[in-house]
Amino acid sequence: MSRVSIIQPEQSYTFADYFKLNYDIEDIFSYFGYSFQAQLLTLPKSERKLERIEELKHRFQESLPYLSLNSEIARREFLIAPVIMELIHYIHVKVRVEYPLAVNDQLKGTLDYYLQSENQLLVIEAKNADLQRGFTQLGVELIAIDQWFPSNNSRLYGAVSMGNIWQFGVLSRQTQQIVQDINLYRVPADLEDLLRILVEILKPTSTI
């Protein structure tokens, strides 16, 4: 059961505030009427040819030993942005960076990356550390989008990323459940699987 006291209705919260809360992830989601489950997800993967994947992997392998990744900005610029740029090469998905969203005083803030195609969307929350707290923030962002974005999509996708590690989450709109994938995708080791998932989630219905 959710403890009403964990979030004060008269208080204003940004998405980033939920990263700082020490409450259990289930209690935070339950406050908004959503349940939580961590399990192994079978995420969709594209079968198309990724003709530049080896080149991107090589660039990561070549540059990572020389990069200082002690901040979120560094991870976003050197690790996350190249993956998104590669995604744009395969599917011309619209990417919005630092996208503002306000549903109410408890659901508002800035989305690090908001990607939208004609039939699906994806939120990416970038973090320098603490993937689990990052997932809490991501889940709240998905809840905000669920209440803000009218569509026929039965599921909303999100990912929290430290650049070298990615973890996906899915919000089921019908059951109001957020599922955290227990799989972690590493860059560059799992780069191909990661990119295939991103391409398949966001592919236009008319292509691929």
Whether 3 is covered by a domain: the verdict is no
From CA 132, how far away is CA 113, in angstroms rounded?
18
Note the pLDDT of residue 2: 44
How do residues 103-114 score in pLDDT, each as one tens digit? 999 999 999 999
Angle in degrees, CA 134, 150, 95, rounded to 5: 55
**42-46, 81-85, 97-101, 149-153: least confident range:** 149-153
In terms of C-beta density within 10 A (0-12 exposed, 13-18 middle, 19 or more buried), how is residue 10 classed? Answer: exposed
- Expressed as residue numbers, the domain containing 187 is 12-42+60-202
Whether 109 is covered by a domain: the verdict is yes
Q: What value does the mean pLDDT take over residues 67-80? A: 95
pLDDT above 70 covers what percent of the chain?
96
The mean pLDDT value of the chain amounts to 94
pLDDT band, very low/low/confident/very high, at 5 (cuts 50, 70, 90): low
Note the pLDDT of residue 3: 46
pLDDT band, very low/low/confident/very high, at 100 (cuts 50, 70, 90): very high
Q: Which residues pair with 155 in a beta bridge?
A: 172
Q: What value does the mean pLDDT take over residues 161-181? A: 97
Is the model's pLDDT at 20 over the cut of 90?
yes
Whether 139 is covered by a domain: the verdict is yes
Q: What value does the mean pLDDT take over residues 44-58? A: 96
Amino acid (1-letter code) at residue 146: D
Say how many domains are in the chain.
Answer: 1
Note the pLDDT of residue 204: 79
pLDDT band, very low/low/confident/very high, at 176 (cuts 50, 70, 90): very high
Note the pLDDT of residue 1: 44
From CA 173, how far away is CA 177, in angstroms rounded?
7
Whether 180 is covered by a domain: the verdict is yes
Q: What value does the mean pLDDT take over residues 58-75? A: 95
Please state, in angstroms and as integers, the Cα–Cα distance from residue 25 to each residue in 18, 20, 136, 139, 179, following that order. 9, 12, 6, 9, 12
pLDDT band, very low/low/confident/very high, at 197 (cuts 50, 70, 90): very high
Whether 47 is covered by a domain: the verdict is no
Whether 7 is covered by a domain: the verdict is no
